[in-house]
Structure 1
Amino acid sequence: MTGSVNTCGTSQLWQPTTTLEARRARADLLRAIREYFYQRDVLEVDTPLLSNGTVTDEHLDAFVTAFAHGNTGKPVNLYLQTSPEYAMKRLLCAQSGSIYQICKAFRHEGEGRWHNPEFTMLEWYRLGYDHLQLMDDVDALLMTTLGTEPSDKLTYQNAFIEYLALDPLTATDDMLESALREHNIDIHAPQTLSTDSKLQLLFSYCIEPRIGTQKPCFIYEFPASQAALAKLSRRDSRVAERFEVYFKGAELANGFNELSEAEEQRRRFKSDNKKREKAGLETKPIDEHFLSALENGLPACAGVALGVDRLLMLKMGASHIQDVINFPVSRA
């Protein structure tokens, strides 16, 4: 599918890049998502787009804006959310039960086939679920909205063994660098990259293109060093109870059996900022409201974030995200 807009000349830039068909398809998709959660008694919630804290992940950058009218009388920086996760978990700590949200999220990254700096995210949390049960929930949503077949499921470790004959949990840096060369992944000074960066390159170039081609594929139990906000596995402490979903070239969703220990979460935030510092990046303010909520008690739950625009692209057979977003950043 391609947009029907004539892009010649600035006089046409007021127009949306979508067709009326795409706008109707988005409305139908949002209605189907809301019906899915309504039928399962999951509450829709709303949280702020602006926050005093932000993500510390070295691979994510938030938009920041100066706010001159804070109640302290001093100017402060506020951050556009990269996801509603921290605020939604504060609601979970306030006994909201299972919840979901459809909202705008923002990431300070360039435009591309699958990404616009402002995009629509679906995020939900199911109380009493672990990551395996939530994978089934995501699979059911995809079958409902896209009409997919039941998904494939593969651990991160087994994916590497199957497609690269390499165990990511035991491979040395020399073995990973050898694999990069063997698969013609030409990276300057690979020895300077972290182990996780080398693993990510191998996954992106050698595994992602080969999974999820006919039906969605869940990759789960990522290395503990890539845990983010997930619990470590009780079965194998080398891996985290985290999953990602891939389908027809799109990374659709990222989910976790949610970490609930405030001190461990603080340690990970500080570790992230040390990595940012080492990489020459600006450190980010830790979200103290979120940590205070964890100290009060996060119920056992699993949560996932899913890109709605990418879901709509797959539903419509669109080749570029601008075909399903009315006004991408270049026309905003």
Structure 2
Amino acid sequence: MIPLENLRRRARLLAELRRFFVERGFLEVETPLASSEVIPEQHIEPIALADGLHFLQASPELHHKRLLCAGAGALFEITRSFRGFERGPLHRPEFTIVEWYRPGDDLAAGMALLDELLQSLLGLPAAKRTSYREAFQRTLAIDPHTVPIEQLCTLAAPLLGHPDEAELASWDRDDVLNALLSLAIEAGLGASGPELLYHYPATQAALARTALDGHGVEVAERFELYLRGIELANGYDELTDEVVLRTRLEEVNRRRVLQGSSSLPLPERLLSAMAKGRLPACTGVALGFDRLAMVAVEAREITEVVAFADS
């Protein structure tokens, strides 16, 4: 078991976090841990139950958005989430997630609320805002939105152990950008304090809206919070167009099949609610609470902040 003082600090963090949202008028909700529907993601494998009909949820997102469609307003949840084949210093197949949505917020407001939360819980300074472009320019001296993929592959090859040309040719642009971000850039993010990375490539929008940035480039209205090289949270200025979302999820399933994974059922009840135009403009954020607890107690691994790491 973890040191009891870490357990006590974790409990205080949970109480402070809950108070933060309640004081700002958020409704605390509880949603199913298992459902017959999921939101397909290319690199996240949901855990199927023995009945073959239900999946442990990787995020409460689809249920939260159904509540938003019903008019619930600002809401949050502290819950367990599950992802298959994830285990390491920063990953476990079962983990605690904090997720929240507030209608009326855009990208800037979503980042501001997340920043305010970190300052309130951990006494941290205000987070630095860094665009995805600026992060790549700072570390690799390239514009990730416009640089030729051949140059990206040249930069990535030594970091990936010099894969052969056939393997590199099988990677698409986002594969190479993700590798460069993970292997060359992430370790320096949030080195001197919290850092919000925003405006990812439009092809990495997932469930976020896209918009033109100040350079006239279409980018994803999404952001991630880093501290000491660790990603703590992921946020979207949420996509509200059901047709576009369905197209994106179908493309995710196509890519899953190409990489040898199974196609996943679409969240038809959510898509149906969105088709009626009921999902309000909002920003949503998912925060890894175990990682937050790691930062609070200056731990190096998640096993130091969960009660039973051997389970």
- Map residues 46-85 of structure 1 onto 2, 5 A cutoff: 46-67=30-51, 76-85=52-61
> What's the counterpart of residue 4 of structure 1?
none
Q: 1:285 aligns with which of 246, 265, 287?
A: 265
Q: SS of the counterpart of 2:38?
A: coil
Structure 1: 5+ residue stretches without partners: 1-15, 68-75
How much does 1:273 deviate?
0.7
Task: Judge conservation of contact 1:55–1:62 (CA < 8 Å) in 2.
Answer: no
Flag the structure with larger Rg: 1
> What's the counterpart of residue 177 of structure 1?
153
> What's the counterpart of residue 286 of structure 2?
305
> What's the counterpart of residue 190 of structure 1?
168
> What's the counterpart of residue 231 of structure 2?
251
Please give the alpha-carbon distance, in whole angstroms, between the structure 1 residues aligned to 2:124 and 2:273. 37
> What CA deviation, in whole Å up to 9, does each residue of 1:264-295 have, x standing for no partner?
11000100011111112111111111111212
> What's the counterpart of residue 208 of structure 2?
230
How much does 1:234 deviate?
4.5
Matched AA of 2:219: V
Give yes or no for the alignment of 1:321 onto 2:299: no
How much does 1:55 deviate?
2.7
> What's the counterpart of residue 128 of structure 1?
104
Please give the alpha-carbon distance, in whole angstroms, between the structure 2 residues aligned to 1:214 and 1:59. 30
How much does 1:237 deviate?
5.5
Give yes or no for the alignment of 1:166 onto 2:129: no
Q: TM-score, normalised by structure 2?
A: 0.95
How much does 1:110 deviate?
3.1
Please give the alpha-carbon distance, in whole angstroms, between the structure 2 residues aligned to 1:285 and 1:80. 13
Please give the alpha-carbon distance, in whole angstroms, between the structure 1 residues aligned to 2:98 and 2:144. 30
Structure 2: 5+ residue stretches without partners: none
Please give the alpha-carbon distance, in whole angstroms, between the structure 2 residues aligned to 1:66 and 1:87. 22
How much does 1:81 deviate?
0.4
Give yes or no for the alignment of 1:104 onto 2:85: no
Q: TM-score, normalised by structure 1?
A: 0.89
Please give the alpha-carbon distance, in whole angstroms, between the structure 2 residues aligned to 1:169 and 1:126. 30
Task: Judge conservation of contact 2:202–2:210 (CA < 8 Å) in 1.
Answer: yes
Give yes or no for the alignment of 1:211 onto 2:197: no
Task: Judge conservation of contact 1:169–1:238 (CA < 8 Å) in 2.
Answer: no
What is the aligned residue count? Answer: 305
Please give the alpha-carbon distance, in whole angstroms, between the structure 1 residues aligned to 2:21 and 2:176. 38
Say which is worse superposed, 137-146 or 235-244, in terms of deviation.
235-244
Give yes or no for the alignment of 1:145 onto 2:121: yes
> What's the counterpart of residue 38 of structure 1?
22
> What CA deviation, in whole Å up to 9, does each residue of 1:34-90 have, x standing for no partner?
1101111111111001111113111100000133xxxxxxxx510000000000000
